[in-house]
């Protein structure tokens, strides 16, 4: 794996071989490795897999966990090497943002829902950095996880509305054996919080079963999900919402392509998860 820290080290011009981009914030876990595996597959034997690691300050709202976000540089490097990554781009903040930066990319509809309500400015930070990475690397394909379903939907919208020539591939959420979605933030959890966190997945699966059994009322599905999560002493619900998976607008009844999504705090750690209801 070649490691680049500056824009000058990125091969210039459109790539001559298929290039697949995997944008991350590092602290790589099995979820990221699955994205890299899919990237390797999509790139083919002659193609190039680029992983970026950048803890993007623009997507952290004030008072959030930017300064304590894990940055295990040597482990991440080794993980990329073992996974057959061709190029690891790991810039410093000053390489990505001028101090007097004044241009941003903002999605104005999907960003209002779900996590957008509790994290103002978050998706503006995401869109801005992802747009920059698309311009810097001009990848044919980019791989994103469905764990961050709203982020995936917003990046797809940005690509559509700004005519980026990149195909977005979404990868199903990778989970621990007990159902907890892998996340770099799971390592913040105290042992008791960690033992209660699988309730999120259990609640979502139960809700999906209720839908399969014929429940159509959003209010009832949300009530059941909240009640199940409230059973965990250390859980504090940020939101549980049932939305259209395309527009992310709230729905009063469960229809095909509905998404049940949630964010829940365990202590200071905010976890997200979601399930598609068909």
Catalytic amino acids? Answer: 32
Name which of 52 and 218 has its Cβ closer to ligand AMP: 52
Give CA separation, 197 vs 109, 145, 189, 273, in Å. Answer: 30, 20, 9, 11
Figure out which of the listed residues 47, 91, 116, 145 binds ligand AMP, where binding follows CB under 6 A.
145
Does residue 260 belong to the site contacting ligand AMP (CB under 6 A)? Answer: no
CA–CA separation, 215 vs 229, rounded Å? 19
Does residue 193 belong to the site contacting ligand AMP (CB under 6 A)? Answer: no
Name which of 144 and 203 has its Cβ closer to ligand AMP: 144
Q: How far is the CB of 186 from ligand AMP (least distance, A)?
A: 9
Q: How many CA atoms lie within 13 A of 201 on its CB side?
A: 16
User: Footprint of ligand AMP on residues 72-111 (CB under 6 A)?
Assistant: none
Q: How far is the CB of 38 from ligand AMP (least distance, A)?
A: 10
Figure out which of the listed residues 32, 119, 124, 228 binds ligand AMP, where binding follows CB under 6 A.
32
C-alpha dihedral (247, 144, 172, 250), degrees to nearest 10:
-20
Name which of 216 and 268 has its Cβ closer to ligand AMP: 268
Name which of 32 and 228 has its Cβ closer to ligand AMP: 32
User: Footprint of ligand AMP on residues 155-184 (CB under 6 A)?
Assistant: 171, 173-174, 181-184
Does residue 31 belong to the site contacting ligand AMP (CB under 6 A)? Answer: yes
CB under 6 A: which stretch of 25-33, 39-47, 71-79, 193-201 binds ligand AMP?
25-33
Strands 235-244 and 258-266: antiparallel
CA–CA separation, 74 vs 62, rounded Å? 28
Does residue 49 belong to the site contacting ligand AMP (CB under 6 A)? Answer: no
Among the listed residues 58, 69, 32, 57, the one whose alpha carbon sits nearest the alpha carbon of residue 171: 32
Count of residues for the chain? Answer: 278
CB under 6 A: which stretch of 4-12, 32-40, 69-77, 225-233 binds ligand AMP?
32-40
Question: Which residues neighbour 12 within 8 Å (Cβ) at sequence distance 6 or greater?
Answer: none
Strands in 235-244's sheet, in edge-to-edge order, are 235-244, 258-266, 269-277
Does residue 52 belong to the site contacting ligand AMP (CB under 6 A)? Answer: no
Size of the site for ligand AMP (CB under 6 A): 17
Name which of 51 and 260 has its Cβ closer to ligand AMP: 51
54 contacts 25 by C-beta, under 8 angstroms: yes
Does residue 186 belong to the site contacting ligand AMP (CB under 6 A)? Answer: no
CA–CA separation, 148 vs 222, rounded Å? 20
Which 3 state secondary structure label does DSSP give 25? coil
**CB crowding 165-194: b at 16 or more within 10 Å, else e:** ebebbbbebbbbeebbbbbbbbebbeeebb
Name which of 173 and 258 has its Cβ closer to ligand AMP: 173
- Which residues contact ligand AMP (rule: CB under 6 A)? 24-25, 31-32, 34-35, 144-145, 147-148, 171, 173-174, 181-184
């Amino acid at each position: 794996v070649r490691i680049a820290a500056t824009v000058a080290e990125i091969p210039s011009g459109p790539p001559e071989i298929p290039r697949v981009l995997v944008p991350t914030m590092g602290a790589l876990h099995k979820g990221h490795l699955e994205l890299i595996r899919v990237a390797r597959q999509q790139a083919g034997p002659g193609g190039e897999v680029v992983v970026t690691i950048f803890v993007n300050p623009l997507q952290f709202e004030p008072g959030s966990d930017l300064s304590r976000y894990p940055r295990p540089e040597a482990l991440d490097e080794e993980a990329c090497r073992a996974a057959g990554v061709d190029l690891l781009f790991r810039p410093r903040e000053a390489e990505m943002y001028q101090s007097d930066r004044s241009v941003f990319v903002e999605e104005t509809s999907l960003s209002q829902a779900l996590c957008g309500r509790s994290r103002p400015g978050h998706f503006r930070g995401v869109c801005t950095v992802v747009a920059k990475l698309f311009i810097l690397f001009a990848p044919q394909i980019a791989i994103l996880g469905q764990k961050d379903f709203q982020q995936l939907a917003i990046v797809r919208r940005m690509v559509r509305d700004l005519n980026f020539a990149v195909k977005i591939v979404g990868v199903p959420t990778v989970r621990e054996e007990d159902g907890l979605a892998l996340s770099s933030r799971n390592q913040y959890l105290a042992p008791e919080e960690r033992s209660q966190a699988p309730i999120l997945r259990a609640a979502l699966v139960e809700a999906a079963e209720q839908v399969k059994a014929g429940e159509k009322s959003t209010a009832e599905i949300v009530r059941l999900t909240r009640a199940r999560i409230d059973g965990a002493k250390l859980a504090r619900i940020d939101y549980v919402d049932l939305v259209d998976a395309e527009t992310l607008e709230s729905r009063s009844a469960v229809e095909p392509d509905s998404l049940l999504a949630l964010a829940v705090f365990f202590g200071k750690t905010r976890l997200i998860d979601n399930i598609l209801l068909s």
